[in-house]
Amino acid sequence: MKRLAIVMFAVIISLPAVVLSQDTITLSRNEIWSKVSEKNLQLKIQDQEFKSAQADFKQSNALFLPDVSVSHTGISTTNPLMAFGSKLNQEILTPSDFNPALLNNPEVTTNFATKVQVLQPLVNLDGVFGRQAAKSKMEAMQLQSERTKEYLELETGKAFMQLQLAYKAVNVLEKAELTADANLKLIDNYFKQGLLQKTDVLSVQVRVNEIKNQVQLAKSNVRNTSDYLAFLMQEDMNGKIYRPVEELGSSISIAEPNKGLTDGRKDIQAMMKSADAYEAVLKSAKMNFMPRLNAFGTYELYDNKLFGAEAKGYLVGVQLSWNVFDGYKSIGKRQKALADYTRAEAAASQYKAQSQMELNKTNRQLNDAGHKVSLAKLALEQSQEAYRIRNNRFKQGLEKTSDLLGSETQMFQKELEYLQAVFEYNFTQQYLTFLTK
């Protein structure tokens, strides 16, 4: 009996359990998921990571758009070159300014310059592939964000089913408690009539205390499940206990195993997009050896007064530049990009292989879970019939107290095992859908 009690305790402790109180909140599965999808911090974190990648991609618009800057500078100088140049820019030079004495020792000259500068990229091949890398990274983050949402939906469904199972476990244990109390009362009456010994009463009392302890553990476990649901929904955990609107079903719907794994799964697509990003980075590193073509232009206003504009001029041009050697920096960058791309490709292939292995494993688990439910249901029916027979024979004085207690323990243990088997099958079925989604 002690061994059976330990087994029963192990089954119960693995389940979240529940306790009713004034703070019990009734929620449906859809209501819980609605709150999770709206408030869950993991989804918010993932969303911000996507926005960060999106901002990186937007920065690559600089590859096509001009860089425009405006500045206003004021100087006061006696430097011969600066003084002569300032007067030249202001268009106020006179013949007397060419006097060597004034050229070598000019008076204090004030100059205010307003400059509008435009830099326009024309051909930058490394930037083109860098933009492709940023776009692939952004798309990978978006897919990963969507996959995270799908995983949280699965996790929320699992927690909800655990809560359903917890209520069922409490009901079973409370029923076991009532049965044990009734048996204790019956055996106590037999003892008072001299039909049983004191040891029989003590054995039943031990059994009653064990069940009461298991009921308390089950109720404590429900609080743990409620706390986890509150955590997923980003709700206050203090004193709140959730009760599911829908009860855990006592039957299952058999589904055929699904062996297909497609590249359309969002996390697999994200891994492939990540590899594409590293490939684009590699191409960008290779294009770093190619020349760049850029245009530039400035429009300038000069005066000896603040914000003046008496003189003006412009400058436009095109620059073709080629970094022939930068001290092995570009070569090292290309080698690093090649290693990163090779690693990303290997990681994507490994992830896909692991996903297929997990799918195969889950298919087998679903099949095993279906058999487990069938056997657990049969065992439950047999244990219920065995207890009914032993209980009737005990009342007729044909069974020992220990045999009755053992039969009672087995009956409630099998009921819990059946509920656990139903939960495992339903979750495995949902997990299989998640793996092939």
**Domains plus CATH for the chain?**
2-66+125-291+326-435 (1.20.1600.10)
Task: Answer yes or no: is pLDDT of 3 > 50.
Answer: no
pLDDT (mean) for 280-287: 93
Residue 255 has a pLDDT of: 67
pLDDT class for 309, splitting at 50, 70, 90? confident
User: What burial class does residue 263 get, using C-beta atoms within 10 Å of its C-beta: 0-12 exposed, 13-18 middle, 19+ buried?
Assistant: exposed
The residue ranking higher by pLDDT, 394 or 87, is 87
**For the ranges 140-149, 258-267, 340-349, which has the lowest average pLDDT?**
258-267
**Average pLDDT of 129-146?**
96
Question: Which pLDDT tens digit goes with each residue over 344-383?
Answer: 999 999 999 999 999 999 999 999 999 999 999 999 999 9
What pLDDT shows up at residue 376?
Answer: 93
Question: Is residue 326 predicted with pLDDT exceeding 50?
Answer: yes
Place of tokens 């798309």: 139
Distance of CA 81 to the CA centre of its chain: 64
| The pLDDT of residue 162 | 94
Mean pLDDT, the chain, as a whole number? 88
> For a pLDDT cut of 90, what percent of the chain falls above it?
62
User: Tens digits of per-residue pLDDT, 76-113?
Assistant: 999 999 999 998 998 898 888 888 888 899 999 999 99
377 in Cβ contact with 418 (< 8 Å) = yes
391: number of CA atoms within 13 Å, CB side?
16
Poorest-confidence range of 130-144, 258-272, 364-378?
Answer: 258-272
Confidence of residue 263 (pLDDT cuts 50, 70, 90): confident
pLDDT of residue 394: 80
The whole-number average pLDDT for the span 198-203 is 86
* Predicted pLDDT at 58: 95
Q: How confident is the model at residue 18 (pLDDT cuts 50, 70, 90)?
A: very low
pLDDT at 21 over 50: no
149 contacts: CB under 8 Å, gap ≥ 6 = 37, 43, 46
CA-wise closest residue to 272 among 369, 352, 335: 352
Q: Record the tokens describing residue 270, joined without a space.
A: 């994200």
For residues 219 and 195, the model is more confident at 219
**Residue 93 near residue 289, CB atoms below 8 Å:** no
Alpha carbon distance 4, 14 (integer Å) = 16
User: pLDDT value at position 397?
Assistant: 78
Query: Collapsing DSSP states into helix, strand and coil, what is residue 431?
Result: helix
pLDDT confidence bin for 257, thresholds 50/70/90: low
Least reliable range by pLDDT among 213-222, 234-243, 248-257: 248-257
| pLDDT category of residue 176 using cuts at 50, 70 and 90 | confident
Q: What integer pLDDT is reported at residue 120 of this predicted model? A: 95
Strands in 135-199 per DSSP E: none
- Residue 119's alpha-carbon distances to 65, 122, 289, 319, in angstroms, are 9, 10, 21, 10
Burial class (CB in 10 A: 0-12, 13-18, 19+), 358: middle
Q: Calculate what percentage of the chain has a pLDDT beyond 70.
A: 94
Angstrom distances, CA of residue 427 to CA of 223, 255, 264? 21, 12, 23
pLDDT attached to residue 253: 75
Residues 6+ apart with CB under 8 A from 352: 261, 263, 268, 271
Question: Worst-scoring range by mean pLDDT, 89-103, 124-138, 400-414?
Answer: 400-414
Residues 202 and 257: beta-carbon distance below 8 Å? no
Q: What is the pLDDT of residue 282?
A: 95
Residue burial 160-189, b: 16+ Cβ < 10 Å; e: rest: bbbbbbbbbbbebbeebbebbeebbebbee
Which stretches of 258-328 are DSSP H helices? 266-287
pLDDT at 301 over 90: yes
pLDDT at 76: 95
Encode pLDDT of 215-234 as tens digits: 998 898 899 999 999 999 99
Do the Cβ atoms of 230 and 159 come closer than 8 Å?
no
User: Rounded to whole angstroms, how far apart are CA atoms 179 and 183?
Assistant: 6
Quickly state the pLDDT bin for 406 (edges 50, 70, 90). Answer: confident
Confidence at 390, pLDDT banded by 50, 70, 90: confident
Give the residue among 288, 287, 286, 318 at the shortest CA–CA distance from 121: 318
Q: Which of 27-31, 47-51, 82-86, 183-187 has the lowest mean pLDDT?
A: 183-187
pLDDT, tens only, 50-74: 999 999 999 999 999 999 999 999 9
